[in-house]
Amino acid sequence: MTTDSPDKIIDRSAKLVFSFFLSSAGLWLLTAALFAYIAAAKLTDPFFLSSCEYLTYGKIKVAQANAFVYGWGGNAIFAVSLWILARLSQAEVRGSFFLVLAGVIWNLAITFGLLGILDGHMSGHEMLEMPTEVWPAMLISYLIITFLALVIHRSRQIKETIAPQWFILAALLWFPALFLIAWHGLEINTARGTLQTVLSMWYGQSLIWLWLTPVALGAAYYLIPAVLGRTIDKYYLAIFGFWCIAALAPWSVVHHLEGGPVPMWIPAIGTVMSIAMVFPIAVASTNFHATAFLDIGKVWDSLPLRFVIFGTLSYTVSSYIGVVFSLPAVAKITQFTIINEFHFNQRVYGFFSMIIFGAVYFALPRITGREIPIAAKSFHFWTSTLGVLLLLLAYLIGGLTHGVLAGQPSLEWSSAVIGSIQPYFLITKIAFVILAFSQLVFVVNVWRVIFPNPLRLLAEGKKEVSA
Amino acid sequence: MNNLAKFTIGIFLTLGIAWLAFVVGAREQYGDLTPSPQSLDEDGSVPVDADLFPVDLSGLAKQGAEEYASLGCVTCHTQQVRREETGFDVERGWGKRSSVPRDYVLQEHVLLGNSRIGPDLANLGLREYSDEWLHQHLFEPQSMIPSSLCPPSPFLYDEIDEPFHSDIEVSSGLDEDNTRYIRPSIRADRLVAYLQSLKQDYELPEVAFVEIPTEEEVVTEEVVDDSVIASTSVPTWLQQQMEAGKEVYMKAAAGGGMCFTCHQPNGEGLAGQFPPLAGSDWVLGDKERLIKISMYGLMGEIDVNGVKYNNVMAPPGIPPGSLTDDQIANVLTYIRNDWGNSASAVSADEVATVRSSLKGRAPMQMFTAAELTPAE
């Protein structure tokens, strides 16, 4: 009788939790894809489903963002964070029952929250549109999961911590802090006037920068060395990059308020801090790409890593573009245009989701012991790449057109300005169809591994015995 | 980094400093703003008996704000006019001045928004749309603005088979037979009350109305033009009619025609987009067609001097379709006689005759060029 390696034991302890969060994440991904298609279709044909009050463009668009960030993003963060923390701590995942229970509550809360939005109970705060009734359930279930993640981390074998742990732990801890701040300022001790907007804008943007972003960066810091079998190049910079993000990101996000009815110092600080963000972006980019390009052949051959490097490249490019768009001279043109959609989709699809896909393809075979067919993974990679690039290019070029035309007061709004960007809405609709298809492949890949056909398992078992 | 407690304190500190600034600091700075009179006395004190702004919304309008939030209108419409140096909002006519924090202190839900697929609505109530127009637009935006992307909200209305005189007629611009009668629900009434209440039409101590500099340039041009008109020694009555007509042509506020925004102050139009008026066979030709277009607008393909244009001209006037017989007569006389054009004047009586001949036509129903060209 052979003893299992410690990694095997840890993977086995994570199996239930990882499978649960990942399969729920997959369902949310498909829900968001459906919403995204409906929203895009409504922009190309305003009469599409127009008689249904539950599906107005405003509601669907918001429901899509929430399903994506909290449903797909939240569940994927739980799955990937718990597994990476367990692996790095060399400690087993404990309290699986409570983790799954909390996960069920989280998912139910989001389900009711989205139904609430569609039923017209939107709160009107950015990324907090779900009705306040579900907020306590979200917070409690989240805290249970974070607590158990911290338990894993506390029982680690090696006291020394490394970059993936900082990023993932910080993200796990920042979310409830942000959530409580927003809850307090918006609902408990409600701020008056545009203070509400400052706070909800700050929350909504920080959610992307301090929750989704660090988890994806942490996963990249873990996966690149793990696959390539080499250490991160110029690793000593990572700590500087981490604290730069921690210190600058919460300040930089408010530059979107440029010119609005808020004190001028708020967007001004946002702009200055956005420019300062080039440092952490450069650090992460150097760490990832200097390491990856030492062994680019291996990156290309490993599908998980191909996803990760696509994500990190996307992060670098999009963040630099974000810095340029925060400059007041540029913001004057791009503010309030569909460039906002470019930023959002760039972050959540091009960067966060791509890295999560990579992490899942890396972890899933190790956890379940079953491989995903390479052709299926490859198909997923190419369709996502195509869909993401098409979507982002359409939003980028369409957004610039939108901004330039809107800046000419002689052009009539709906026929001349919005009419000119309608072709780009058609392209985004096509891109969302491609992405939906690609995500369906991903979810089928994942579900087939998590819930294998029992007959096939039996057949495989027989083969092993006869061998 | 290895001690979880110290690490946690560190990352919360960085977040906490930003929180102190944007939440605590900002609240400290302007959390206690209250409505104010339009201007203060010289010594900075509040004048006695002055009206305070902003004013609170009516109960119906407040309920309308809830409807606005719940339908997600904020996804496509902002409610903020940016400062001149950061945007084009005032030039676009979306407000008389930039919005300031005080404008929002009485609002329960502040719906500034950050995306403009639709126009800004901070001053919708100043654009003088009728309630009926807004209802028609909410029911089916495309019946009012054919190119609109705004999704229709038929669920806020009852369609009526046997209309009562207070019911609203909606005819879709493309299909004349498709005329329906709608009765607004209470929710639609709330929403319209809210939309009509959106206006920042007062000055505050911290912000004054913007004087648009381009208007001054226009004035100087006007002086030159007037001298040209005078030097060709046209009769006084024609000169007066043209001056009145030019005012309609150039005015971009209520009661004006706003013609210049598309056809340009020099009457040359914009290549490929808006046809020229100077030297145009349509302008110098049949008066009746011109009068009809000035009342109802024009949409679809049109051939001007052999060049094809395809665009939408909403019924001229602010609000649309509001030009009076006199105004139409004056503005048409003006465009037929400026920029080197020379054709007979149009009188208010001629306009009145055409208007009575079109009595049965639905308001705002734009003409097409084909409709106006006599069959051969």
Of A42, A120, A266, the CB nearest to B70: A120
pLDDT value, residue B215: 45
Average pLDDT over residues B44-69: 87
Contact across the interface for A56 and B83, Cβ inside 8 Å: no
Would you state the CATH architecture of domain B213-372? Orthogonal Bundle (1.10)
Q: Does B91 touch chain A (CB under 8 A)?
A: yes
Q: Does B207 touch chain A (CB under 8 A)?
A: no
- Report CA-CA distances (Å) from A44 to A39, A80, A231, A419, B151: 9, 37, 49, 11, 10
Residue B352: name the closest of B268, B295, B311 by CA: B295
Range among B149-153, B237-241, B286-290 rated most confident: B149-153
- Report CA-CA distances (Å) from A342 to A74, A285, A358, B272: 21, 20, 22, 30
Q: pLDDT band at residue B230, thresholds of 50, 70 and 90?
A: very low
Smallest CA–CA distance, residue B226 to chain A, in Å, is: 24
CA B19/CA A274 separation, integer angstroms: 17
CB neighbourhood size of B142 (10 A)? 19
In eight-state DSSP terms, residue A195 is: H
CA B365/CA B59 separation, integer angstroms: 34
Q: Does B87 touch chain A (CB under 8 A)?
A: yes
Q: Does A91 touch chain B (CB under 8 A)?
A: no
In eight-state DSSP terms, residue B157 is: E
Q: Would you say A237 and A281 are in contact if contact means Cβ atoms under 8 Å apart?
A: no
Would you state the CATH architecture of domain A6-450? Up-down Bundle (1.20)
List the 304-343 stretch of A: residues with Cβ below 8 A of B: 328, 331-332, 335-338, 340
Give the alpha-carbon dihedral of A46, A51, A54, A59, to 10 degrees.
20
Residue B365: name the closest of B328, B313, B326, B325 by CA: B313
List the 140-159 stretch of B: residues with Cβ below 8 A of A: 141-142, 145-155
Burial level of A250, CB count in 10 A (0-12/13-18/19+)?
buried
> Per-residue pLDDT tens for B59-115?
899 999 999 999 999 999 999 999 888 888 888 889 989 999 999 999 888 899 989
Of B86, B101, B155, the CB nearest to A259: B86
Which of A414, A422, A425 should be substituted to probe chain B, the one whose Cβ sees the most B Cβ atoms within 10 Å?
A: A414
**H/E segment holding residue A103:** helix A96-118
pLDDT value, residue B219: 43
CA A168/CA B305 separation, integer angstroms: 68
Q: Would you say A198 and A254 are in contact if contact means Cβ atoms under 8 Å apart?
A: yes
Residue B25: name the closest of A177, A262, A124 by CA: A262
Residue length of chain B: 376
Q: pLDDT band at residue B289, thresholds of 50, 70 and 90?
A: confident
3-class DSSP state for residue B182?
strand
Of B31, B75, B115, the CB nearest to A336: B115
pLDDT value, residue B376: 44
Looking at the DSSP assignment, which residues form a beta bridge with residue B171? B179
Burial level of A256, CB count in 10 A (0-12/13-18/19+)?
buried
Contact across the interface for A260 and B93, Cβ inside 8 Å: no
| ipTM of model | 0.90
Sheet containing B307-313: which strands, arranged edge to edge? Answer: B307-313, B298-304, B367-368
List the 216-275 stretch of A: residues with Cβ below 8 A of B: 239, 243, 246-247, 250-251, 254, 256, 258-263, 266, 269
Contacts with A62 from chain B: Cβ below 8 Å: 72, 75
pLDDT value, residue A464: 60
Residue A340: name the closest of B241, B243, B114 by CA: B114
Residue type, B243: E
pLDDT value, residue B229: 45
| Alpha carbon of residue B129 to chain centroid | 8
Q: pLDDT band at residue B284, thresholds of 50, 70 and 90?
A: confident
The larger pLDDT score, comparing residue A302 to residue B372, is at A302
pLDDT value, residue B234: 65
| C-beta pairs of A222-225 under 8 Å, 24+ apart in sequence | A222/A84, A222/A87, A222/A88, A222/A164, A222/A359, A223/A304, A223/A305, A223/A308, A223/A355, A223/A358, A223/A359, A223/A362, A224/A288, A224/A291, A224/A292, A224/A305, A224/A308, A224/A309, A225/A291
CATH 1.10.760.10-classified regions of chain B: 59-197, 213-372
Contact across the interface for B112 and A170, Cβ inside 8 Å: no
- Whether this model's pTM surpasses 0.90: no
Mean of all residue pLDDT scores within chain B: 83
pLDDT value, residue A189: 87
List the 125-164 stretch of A: residues with Cβ below 8 A of B: 126, 150, 153-154, 159-161
Q: Does A419 touch chain B (CB under 8 A)?
A: yes
Contact across the interface for B18 and A266, Cβ inside 8 Å: no
Measure CA of the first residue to CA of the last residue in chain B; give whole Å.
Answer: 87
Residue type, A328: P
> Per-residue pLDDT tens for B124-153?
999 888 999 999 999 989 888 888 899 999
Contacts with B141 from chain A: Cβ below 8 Å: 46
Q: Which two tokens stand for residue A99?
A: 């983790």
CA A113/CA A65 separation, integer angstroms: 12
CA A406/CA B280 separation, integer angstroms: 28
How many CA atoms are closer than 13 Å to the CA of A3, on its beta-carbon side? 2
Q: Would you say B74 and B111 are in contact if contact means Cβ atoms under 8 Å apart?
A: yes
Contacts with A210 from chain B: Cβ below 8 Å: 15
Q: What percent of chain B has a predicted confidence (pLDDT) above 70?
A: 91
Contacts with B86 from chain A: Cβ below 8 Å: 258-259, 328, 331-332, 335
Contact across the interface for B147 and A263, Cβ inside 8 Å: no
Contact across the interface for B70 and A413, Cβ inside 8 Å: no
Smallest CA–CA distance, residue B233 to chain A, in Å, is: 33
Residue length of chain A: 467
CA B209/CA B99 separation, integer angstroms: 10
Domain ranges in chain A? 6-450
Which of B114, B138, B143, B144 should be substituted to probe chain A, the one whose Cβ sees the most A Cβ atoms within 10 Å?
A: B114
Residue type, B139: F
The larger pLDDT score, comparing residue B57 to residue A76, is at A76
CA A305/CA A316 separation, integer angstroms: 16
Q: pLDDT band at residue B248, thresholds of 50, 70 and 90?
A: confident
pLDDT value, residue B223: 43
> Per-residue pLDDT tens for B171-215?
765 555 678 889 999 999 999 999 999 999 888 888 888 876 554
Cα radius of gyration (chain B) = 25
CB neighbourhood size of B77 (10 A)? 21
pLDDT value, residue B235: 72
Residues with Cβ within 8 Å of B351's Cβ and at least 6 positions away in sequence, in order, are: B291, B294, B325, B326, B328, B329
pLDDT value, residue B216: 44
How many CA atoms are closer than 13 Å to the CA of A418, on its beta-carbon side? 19
Which chain B residue has its CA at the smallest distance from A192's CA? B105
Q: Would you say A405 and A415 are in contact if contact means Cβ atoms under 8 Å apart?
A: no
> Per-residue pLDDT tens for B336-368?
888 888 888 888 888 888 888 888 787 778 888
Contacts with A258 from chain B: Cβ below 8 Å: 82, 86
Residue A162: name the closest of A220, A111, A101 by CA: A220
CA A364/CA A349 separation, integer angstroms: 20
Q: Does B48 touch chain A (CB under 8 A)?
A: no
Q: Would you say A247 and B14 are in contact if contact means Cβ atoms under 8 Å apart?
A: yes
Q: Does B213 touch chain A (CB under 8 A)?
A: no
Q: Does A289 touch chain B (CB under 8 A)?
A: no
pLDDT value, residue B220: 42
CA B205/CA B50 separation, integer angstroms: 13
pLDDT value, residue B178: 73
CA A404/CA B290 separation, integer angstroms: 33
Contacts with B112 from chain A: Cβ below 8 Å: 194, 197, 260-261
Q: Does B101 touch chain A (CB under 8 A)?
A: yes
Average pLDDT over residues B47-55: 84
CA A197/CA A257 separation, integer angstroms: 9
How many CA atoms are closer than 13 Å to the CA of B357, on its beta-carbon side? 11
The larger pLDDT score, comparing residue A289 to residue B320, is at A289
Which of B4, B13, B15 should be substituted to probe chain A, the one whose Cβ sees the most A Cβ atoms within 10 Å?
A: B15
Which chain A residue has its CA at the smallest distance from B299's CA? A415
pLDDT average per 10 residues of sequence, chain A (467 residues): 76 92 95 95 89 91 95 96 94 93 97 95 88 94 96 91 95 96 90 90 93 96 92 92 94 87 92 93 93 89 93 92 89 90 92 96 91 90 95 94 90 88 94 95 91 73 60
Of A51, A192, A340, the CB nearest to B115: A340
Most distant CA pair in chain A, distance: 82
The larger pLDDT score, comparing residue A383 to residue B34, is at A383
Burial level of A170, CB count in 10 A (0-12/13-18/19+)?
buried
CA B204/CA B53 separation, integer angstroms: 8
Contacts with B8 from chain A: Cβ below 8 Å: 173
Flag whether pLDDT at B222 surpasses 70.
no
Q: Would you say B63 and B212 are in contact if contact means Cβ atoms under 8 Å apart?
A: no
Of B17, B112, B142, the CB nearest to A197: B112
B59-197 placed in CATH 3.40.50.720: no
H-only helix segments in B31-116: 59-71
- Report CA-CA distances (Å) from B341 to A456, B276, B280: 86, 12, 9
